[in-house]
């Protein structure tokens, strides 16, 4: 069961305490309690996901932002964005970001994982070794519209017995046929790739989503489903925020950190508790929550910690550094056609769609708004390579992600088409640090967006690629003209300024507690995810990625958490 008061929990000793019941935390909670002898406590700051309609209806996911289900973080002024502050949503709910995300299921390329193996010296992080864990997470299912999907994915690279539902997009749009016609006509970078989740991520593929039976499949619905919450050894406490991890003892001069301090409710005035894990504390508070709690606890850059009045227990300067996210913005192309040839949803449509969803779990509300994505490389001949190194992990790795947003209702197109422009592997890096030693004071989050000149040039390469794609003859009848964030005839300078005025985070922050080889004098965790310079503490979430995957990040987090569960279980067997 899910509890909101620590006093309501049975008085047992916990083998493992998991900080954060998010994407990774829910996986660990499930897998570690497969062993009935191990008691596990999950501490989640946000409320339960149960019954939250916006988290169940796939098309409602945007409603969750700027609510109680969001941490509502705002970045520091971003020099690369003309000093704007940008919003960075994060799930504040059981299931974490997987309960509020866009449900895109994209794994990245095999190169991405092979690079992790190379930079950590642990072959277990390679694509080949992780693929079984990727598949262990996945429960492939038919899309909600039950169309014939042969030729739209590669059966052999998908798992059928996992926990998280993965399916193909479910709301056909007029745009779909056009994308595939253009792909056929242009080929090359725009060739059709039957499954961009196969390790070779390049080309245009159909979108796979974490949706099953018309509902969002999150880490909470999948790994903390009622059948698992029934386990007597699994204890889930929501609406309780961890404020610190504390040194429990010292073992041969090494601080042992197995005690967790937490505060009930959403404000600093709640009751305070401490709990000590018999085996390990696992930090799964995400790319912001994990480094924030570590720093509050004295684990981080000793100089920076002392400056805010925190006594360091482990000097790990990499905590909170290497913050990596993909810069992105959307181009809007109105269709030069009249209203009868296009489709604009009304309030009446919305009501009908909700009624259909409630009755059958089918219809337009099962869609996430995107059906296909182009993953492409910047040409080898581009002048960009004269001044910049290639940030991609290898030749099967795209530099750019270009999702297509149609918005119509088949067979009519929407009044506008959107093309998202994302730098899949950026060069810019940001950081997260303490504003003060008050755990309820939000951290300073510097996303570093567009601070490296490569990233802006790469976005401009993305614009060229989109324009090239739209020259395909199939688009002629739509009379597309660019309306936002600049015009077809804008100058180079106007385009650069427009990008800096609208670009934002792709909401995929990673890397703030990154893995490095055992014994390295940089990085935060060893390849087995144990925090360096202390004992009793591991990190399992998006923060451990040394490099971002060229993708949306949930599939990689699930893979990390599935492998971590095995590693942790093995070390206590
Ligand atoms: C709006 C949005 C859209 C996205 N879209 C996609 C997408 O379409 N596809 C995709 O693949 N990825 C997407 N992502 C990214 C993806 O969801 C994340 O990378 C992934 O879920 C992160 O998992 P995690 O376990 O690292 O962290 P989280 O899932 O964020 O889990 C961290 C958990 O810890 C809790 N927590 C934090 N601090 C504390 C504390 N002090 N005490 C107690 N609990 C704490 C949080 O409340 C949260 O539940 C999106 C993310 C967002 C926010």
Q: What is the DSSP string of 382-440?
A: -THHHH----SSSTT--SEEEEEE---BTTBPBSEEEEEEEESS-S--BEEE-S-S-TT
Answer yes or no: are the C-beta atoms of 22 and 91 closer than 8 Å. yes
Which of 92, 235, 452, 552 is catalytic? The answer is 552
> Does the active-site annotation cover 388?
no
Q: How do residues 129-161 score in pLDDT, each as one tens digit?
A: 999 999 999 999 999 999 999 999 999 999 999
CA of 90 to the centre of ligand 1 (A): 5
CA of 173 to the centre of ligand 1 (A): 29
Q: Is the CB of 46 under 6 A from ligand 1?
A: yes
pLDDT of residue 334: 96
CATH number of 144-215+327-425+451-502: 3.30.560.10
> Quick one: CA dihedral 311, 314, 317, 319, positive or negative?
negative
Mean pLDDT across the chain, nearest whole number? 97
What span, in angstroms and rounded, lies between the C-alpha atoms of 168 and 162? Answer: 16
Answer yes or no: are the C-beta atoms of 551 and 507 closer than 8 Å. no
CA of 120 to the centre of ligand 1 (A): 24
In sequence order, the 6+-apart residues with CB closer than 8 A to the CB of 42 are 18, 20, 21, 25, 26, 29, 234, 235, 236, 237
pLDDT of residue 197: 98
Q: How do residues 515-567 score in pLDDT, each as one tens digit?
A: 999 999 999 999 999 999 999 999 999 999 999 999 999 999 999 999 999 99
Question: Residue 273: in which H helix or E strand, if any?
Answer: strand 272-283
Q: Is the CB of 137 under 6 A from ligand 1?
A: no
Is the pLDDT score of 407 beyond 90?
no
Q: How do residues 381-398 score in pLDDT, each as one tens digit?
A: 999 999 999 999 999 999
CA of 91 to the centre of ligand 1 (A): 5
At residue 300 the predicted structure's pLDDT band, cuts being 50, 70 and 90, is very high
Ligand 1 atom 18 nearest Cα = 554
What span, in angstroms and rounded, lies between the C-alpha atoms of 464 and 472? Answer: 14
Nearest CA to 499 out of 532, 547, 546, 450 is that of 450
1-103+217-321+429-448+509-573 and 144-215+327-425+451-502: same fold? no
Per domain, the residue ranges of the chain are 1-103+217-321+429-448+509-573, 144-215+327-425+451-502
How remote is the C-alpha of 68 from its chain's centroid?
A: 19
* ipTM of the complex model: 1.00
Q: How do residues 197-255 score in pLDDT, each as one tens digit?
A: 999 999 999 999 999 999 999 999 999 999 999 999 999 999 999 999 999 999 999 99
Ligand 1 atom 3 nearest Cα = 101
Quote the Cα angle for 335-339-344, to 5°.
85
Answer yes or no: are the C-beta atoms of 255 and 280 closer than 8 Å. no
Average pLDDT over every residue of 499-525: 98
At residue 65 the predicted structure's pLDDT band, cuts being 50, 70 and 90, is very high
pLDDT of residue 298: 98
Q: Phi-psi category of 561—alpha, beta or left, where left has phi over 0 and alpha has psi -120 to 50?
A: alpha
> Does the active-site annotation cover 508?
yes
Burial of 16 per CB tally in 10 Å (0-12, 13-18, 19+): buried
Strand residues in 179-239 grouped as ranges (E)? 203-206, 208-209, 211-212, 215-216, 234-237
Q: Is the CB of 108 under 6 A from ligand 1?
A: no
Average pLDDT over every residue of 440-464: 98
Q: How do residues 310-365 score in pLDDT, each as one tens digit?
A: 999 999 999 999 999 999 999 999 999 999 999 999 999 999 999 999 999 999 99
102 CA closest ligand 1 atom index: 8
Among the listed ranges 14-23, 109-118, 309-318, 404-413, which one has the minimum average pLDDT value?
Answer: 404-413
Question: What does the radius of gyration of the chain's CA atoms come to, in whole angstroms?
Answer: 23
Angle between helices 554-571 and 23-32 (to 10 degrees): 30
439 CA closest ligand 1 atom index: 41
318 φ/ψ angles, rounded to the nearest 5 degrees: -80, -10
Answer yes or no: are the C-beta atoms of 278 and 256 closer than 8 Å. no
CA of 285 to the centre of ligand 1 (A): 8
Is the pLDDT score of 99 beyond 90?
yes
Ligand 1 atom 35 nearest Cα = 20
Strand, coil or helix: 560: helix
pLDDT of residue 486: 98
Taking residue 203's Cβ as centre, other Cβ atoms within 10 Å add up to 21
In a 13 Å sphere around the CA of 311, the CA atoms on its Cβ side amount to 2
Answer yes or no: are the C-beta atoms of 149 and 175 closer than 8 Å. no
What span, in angstroms and rounded, lies between the C-alpha atoms of 135 and 483? Answer: 42
Quote the Cα angle for 228-234-236, to 5°.
100
**CATH class, range 1-103+217-321+429-448+509-573:** alpha beta
Instruction: Tell me which of 101, 274, 297, 432 to substitute to probe ligand 1's pocket, judged by most ligand atoms within 8 Å of the beta carbon.
Output: 101
């Amino acid at each position: 069961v899910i509890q909101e008061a620590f006093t309501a929990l049975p008085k047992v000793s916990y083998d493992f305490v998991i900080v954060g019941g998010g994407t990774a935390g829910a996986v660990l909670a499930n897998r570690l309690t497969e062993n009935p002898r191990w008691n596990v406590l999950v501490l989640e700051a946000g409320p339960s996901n149960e019954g939250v309609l916006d988290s169940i209806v796939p098309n409602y996911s945007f409603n969750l932002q700027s609510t109680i289900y969001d941490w509502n973080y705002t970045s520091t002024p971003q020099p690369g964005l003309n000093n704007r502050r940008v919003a960075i949503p994060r799930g504040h709910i059981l299931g974490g970001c997987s309960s509020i995300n866009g449900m895109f299921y994209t794994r990245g390329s095999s190169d991405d994982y092979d690079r992790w193996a190379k930079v950590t010296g642990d072959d277990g992080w390679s694509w080949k070794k992780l693929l079984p864990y990727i598949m262990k997470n996945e429960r492939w299912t038919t899309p909600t519209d039950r169309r014939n999907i042969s030729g739209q994915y590669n059966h052999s690279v998908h798992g059928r017995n996992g926990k998280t539902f993965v399916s193909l997009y479910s709301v056909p749009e007029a745009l779909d046929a056009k994308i595939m016609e253009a792909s056929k006509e242009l080929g090359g970078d725009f060739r059709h790739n039957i499954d961009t989740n196969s390790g070779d991520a390049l080309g245009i593929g159909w979108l796979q989503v974490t949706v099953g039976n018309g509902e969002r499949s999150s880490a909470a619905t999948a790994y903390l489903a009622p059948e698992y919450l029934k386990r007597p050894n699994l204890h889930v406490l929501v609406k309780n925020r961890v404020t610190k991890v504390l040194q429990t003892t010292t073992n041969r001069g090494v601080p042992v950190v197995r005690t967790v301090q937490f505060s009930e409710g959403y404000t600093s005035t709640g009751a305070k508790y401490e709990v000590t894990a018999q085996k390990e504390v696992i930090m799964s508070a995400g790319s912001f929550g994990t480094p924030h709690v570590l720093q509050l606890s004295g684990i981080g850059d000793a100089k920076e910690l002392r400056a805010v009045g925190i006594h360091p227990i482990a000097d790990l300067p990499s905590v909170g550094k290497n913050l990596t996210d993909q810069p992105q913005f959307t181009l809007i192309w109105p269709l030069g056609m009249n209203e009868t040839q296009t489709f604009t949803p009304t309030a009446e449509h919305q009501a009908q769609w909700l009624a259909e969803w409630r009755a059958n779990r089918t219809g337009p509300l099962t869609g996430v708004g995107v059906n296909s994505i182009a993953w492409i490389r910047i040409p080898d001949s581009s002048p960009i390579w004269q001044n910049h190194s290639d940030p991609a992990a290898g030749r099967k790795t795209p530099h750019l992600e270009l999702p297509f947003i149609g918005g119509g209702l088949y067979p009519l197109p929407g009044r506008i088409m959107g093309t998202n422009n994302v730098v899949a592997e950026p060069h810019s890096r940001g950081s997260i640090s303490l504003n003060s030693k008050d755990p309820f004071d939000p951290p300073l989050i510097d996303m570093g967006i567009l601070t490296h000149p490569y990233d802006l040039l790469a976005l401009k390469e993305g614009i060229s690629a989109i324009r090239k794609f739209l020259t395909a003859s199939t688009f002629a009848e739509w009379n597309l003209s660019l309306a936002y964030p600049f015009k077809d005839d804008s100058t180079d300078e106007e385009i650069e300024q427009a990008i800096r005025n609208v670009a934002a985070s792709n909401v995929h922050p990673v890397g703030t507690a990154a893995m490095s080889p055992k014994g390295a004098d940089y990085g935060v965790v060893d390849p087995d995810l144990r925090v360096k310079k202390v004992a009793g503490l591991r990190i399992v979430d998006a923060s451990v990625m040394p490099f971002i995957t060229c993708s949306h990040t949930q599939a990689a987090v699930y893979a990390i958490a599935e492998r971590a569960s095995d590693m942790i279980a093995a070390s206590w067997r």
